[in-house]
Amino acid sequence: MIRFENVSMQYSSGTFSLNDISFTIEQGQFVFLIGPSGAGKTSLLRLIMRQLIPDEGSVFVEDEEVSSRNFKSSDELRKKIGTVFQDFKIIQDRSALENVMVGLEIVHHKNPKEEAMNALSLAGIEKKAGFFPLQLSAGEQQRLAIARAIAGGRQLILADEPTGNVDPVTMWEIVHLFRKIHDDKRTIIFATHNAEIVNALKQRVITIKKGKIVKDKQRGSYSLDL
């Protein structure tokens, strides 16, 4: 589903954000992306969404080279990808239901309200459909962000520190929700600094340091040591 071939990016200072990165993620995999702050995790996710274009190498999503200068389907690409961030990025003046429906209406989904309710139900907050973000707890807001990401049957979910702004109990609720989503055979790339989560789930772990992949292990654990 996702393939990086010798991908490199440089900051204007000349230092590398990513340096000769190559890996493949198959449909249905759950992958943790770990590494120190500034290692290049967010840059990697942004390359998949084509918010960045590499200086060298190629990025493929579903066998399309999205890094090509001739790629003209950025909007279509992003409609296929669900994103979840640490700071939620939900619309404050719309209800939970409306937040999920927005993206569905953009892609002209036939039954946006029904599909939005299905996503809220999977996220466990269907009873909060009429609530506005300020009426929701941090955990409920993150569940809303996840519902928005999966609505419409999106098969690729990119999560950038999705448990960074919630308490420990809520953190595990969010983690269990991601596991439930993964049970539907969706592909998940989960960038995190949380060793406890990584060690508990025993999924594939890709470790990045100074813009390079230093470890890629199935059923891995959290370790920044070489």
Asked if the structure places residue 71 within a domain, the reply is yes
The pTM (predicted TM-score) of the whole model is 0.94
Asked if the structure places residue 154 within a domain, the reply is yes
Q: Is 103 helix (H, G, I), strand (E, B) or coil?
A: helix
- 157: containing domain: 2-217
Q: Does residue 38 carry a pLDDT above 60?
A: yes
Q: CATH no. for residue 135? A: 3.40.50.300
Model pLDDT, residue 129: 97
The residues that bridge with 16 in the sheet, in sequence order, are 10
Q: Does residue 85 carry a pLDDT above 60?
A: yes
Q: φ and ψ at 72, to 5 degrees?
A: -115, 10
Asked if the structure places residue 223 within a domain, the reply is no
What pLDDT band is residue 181 in, cutting at 50, 70 and 90?
Answer: very high
- First-to-last alpha carbon distance for the chain, in angstroms, is 28
Cite the beta strand spans of 30-139 per DSSP E.
30-34, 56-61, 64-65, 81-85
The answer to whether the beta carbons of residues 57 and 10 sit under 8 Å apart is no
**What amino acid occupies position 207?**
T
Asked if the structure places residue 225 within a domain, the reply is no
Model pLDDT, residue 75: 84
Asked if the structure places residue 14 within a domain, the reply is yes
Asked if the structure places residue 224 within a domain, the reply is no
Q: Does residue 13 carry a pLDDT above 90?
A: no
pLDDT tens digits for range 42-71? 999 999 999 999 999 999 999 999 999 899
Question: For residue 60, what are the CA distances in angstroms to 5, 27, 169, 171, 211?
Answer: 8, 13, 37, 32, 19
Q: How many structural domains are present in the chain?
A: 1
Residue 137, token pair as written in the block = 């707890």
The residues that bridge with 60 in the sheet, in sequence order, are 3, 65
The answer to whether the beta carbons of residues 11 and 17 sit under 8 Å apart is yes
Sign of torsion over alpha carbons 87, 93, 97, 98: negative
